[in-house]
Structure 1
């Protein structure tokens, strides 16, 4: 498994049972998380001395860096998957999403805590669950760039849920400011003069207001702008229609001052250079 990339797969009863021992965690040094979304049946999840039963409407997040156990709850399996793809009584199904550690840790500014029994039945939790199901069902129709973009949004919202009990809740108006700022930055990321002050001025808020809203989300205007620009370049590097566009032109089009500045930031963020990613995409 490539622990440096998103993955989303549908697992059946006979595929869900999984034990990761302390020895495996030490030897393999996997760097990532797994998010479990039960569709039917009931799962048990044990990690860091905490145990939870996961049913439809709940979810769990485990780290691959520590031992864990995932299995079918008593009375719910195992049962083989029918050939026609329908659910058989006593079986269980779940979407299992693999998330690179850096995608969560940089948003939370620390390694994510083990999260069991997340409420996905209403509010933001239900939005996340619906998005996971939709992406899972449409996976084959999505390009690599589209799949990564969707998983980025899922991870972003999942971090909000996980962090909910770990930090004071931001006032409602700051949460609204954050959402508007993120949308604005995505739409204007290619503009060379984009700064936190420019965003605040165009939206009619003070720079301090924008900074506070993003601070509650664990980022800054500068980091958010850089992140959106890097994602834009990554998507274009994977797009066959842009294969003849030079790295320098991609850098300038995304608002970077030079190809060197882009390469340095890109390698720091994704672990490879733009040229290496383009070669791998081909």
Structure 2
């Protein structure tokens, strides 16, 4: 198994006695997700399996089980707040998600992006095989400039939705062959695509043109993040658009050229901190090699973004 903070874990209720199966499942779900109430039609026997992939930033769980209902009540939210989001979709069977007086019926090819910070009910039958990805709240609330649940259905059968679906399935299939930087990098791109997918219908103006500008800008920033001279003006000159066009395209997904550049540089630093080939680089080396003007500026921004210092993240990865 790859070293570092990336871990793959498997839980099977068949490995414990019949009377202990629901207890095991409830304990694992509570640990992997958050505190919930559970309704088991057959409490004496419960068949289920879940495969968990996780790093310090993201988690993906693929599971199948007997019929069950999960409930997150206002009381549980007060006792154990959790503002983070989940991408949820079935590979087979059907999921029913109810949140904010709206019910979404999810069948294969449909997904939902919803928050654990609001009450919900989730139920499915015994034929269900599903995927649920944990996404930090700041990845959704800030970029989309909203805090309301997004429990509406997402079409995963075409366009960006189909790309997300394909990447998520591949992420599970290749779970034993990934490193921490690789897992986080793939999850970063999935979240980026989800943001585009979730706000695509809200774009004013010519959607195709804005999407094209935004996609080109993101690729350019990703490829040139380590350049200390990268700025909105330099991007505009290189791509042949006006600065105003770039600002408008990024504004509709809740970011700015400066914020996007900083975000990509921080992701670059994180990948290098977790990379075994970069252990010879000091924190100052990493800062300058990733486009930051100083180690202190990088460390401050890094701690604000990931909740730990660069040194602490490097220590965790060893």
TM-score of the pair, normalised by structure 2: 0.79
Alignment counterpart, residue 115 of structure 1, candidates 142, 148, 151? 151
Indicate the larger mover: 203-212 or 3-12.
3-12
Provide the residue aligned with 1:134 in structure 2.
170
In structure 1, stretches of 5+ residues that fail to align are: 79-90
Alignment counterpart, residue 232 of structure 1, candidates 245, 264, 268? 268
Matched pairs, number: 266
Q: Determine the C-alpha separation between the residues in 2 that align with 1:24 and 1:66.
A: 10
How far apart are 1:53 and its partner, in Å?
1.2
In structure 2, stretches of 5+ residues that fail to align are: 1-30, 34-55
How far apart are 1:165 and its partner, in Å?
4.3
Shift of the 15–157 alpha-carbon distance from structure 1 to 2, 3 Å rule, reads: farther
Alignment counterpart, residue 22 of structure 1, candidates 60, 74, 90? 74
Provide the residue aligned with 1:41 in structure 2.
93
Q: Kindly provide the CA deviation profile for residues 224-272 of structure 1, in whole angstroms up to 9, marking residues without a partner as x.
A: 1111100000000011221231100100111111110101111111111
Indicate the larger mover: 254-263 or 116-125.
116-125
TM-score of the pair, normalised by structure 1: 0.89
Shift of the 53–127 alpha-carbon distance from structure 1 to 2, 3 Å rule, reads: same
Indicate the larger mover: 131-140 or 250-259.
131-140
Alignment counterpart, residue 188 of structure 1, candidates 216, 224, 232? 224
1:217 aligns with 2:253: yes
Alignment counterpart, residue 243 of structure 1, candidates 279, 299, 315? 279
Q: Does the residue aligned with 2:299 lie in a helix, a strand or coil?
A: helix
1:175 aligns with 2:214: no
Q: Kindly provide the CA deviation profile for residues 32-69 of structure 1, in whole angstroms up to 9, marking residues without a partner as x.
A: 11111111111111111111211001111221111211
Indicate the larger mover: 253-262 or 165-174.
165-174
Residue correspondence of structure 1 range 53-202 to structure 2 within 5 A: 53-72=105-124, 77-78=125-126, 91-168=127-204, 171-202=207-238
Q: Determine the C-alpha separation between the residues in 2 that align with 1:160 and 1:102.
A: 15
Shift of the 15–144 alpha-carbon distance from structure 1 to 2, 3 Å rule, reads: farther
Q: Determine the C-alpha separation between the residues in 2 that align with 1:182 and 1:200.
A: 12
Structure 1 outlier segments of 4+, above 4 Å: 1-4
Q: Determine the C-alpha separation between the residues in 2 that align with 1:145 and 1:55.
A: 32
